[in-house]
Amino acid sequence: MLFNQIDTSDKLLLSTGRITSEVLIKAARSNFSMIISRSSASSVAIAMAKQQQIDVVTYVRSTRFNYFSHGAAELIEG
């Protein structure tokens, strides 16, 4: 995306690993609005995400997840 100059502000960053502050910094620099992971997020990463207005979704499973909304998106049930 970087090499092809693709706008990432409307894209999701998907991960299977823990969302750390380092991952959050890279996502913020790359202008992602949401990070989704099967694993957890550190409390520092959640705090940084709030400052950067990046939504964080953790522990994603087939029927449930944890959603930390910081203004990037709106969830609609359906």
Task: Report CA-CA distances (Å) from 60 to 57, 63, 68, 69.
Answer: 7, 8, 12, 15
Contact 32, 54 (CB under 8 A): yes
pTM of the complete model? 0.83
**Tens-place pLDDT, residues 35-78:** 999 999 999 999 999 999 999 999 999 889 999 987 666 666 65
Q: What is the DSSP letter of 26?
A: H
Give the span between the Cα atoms of 50 and 19, in whole angstroms.
Answer: 14
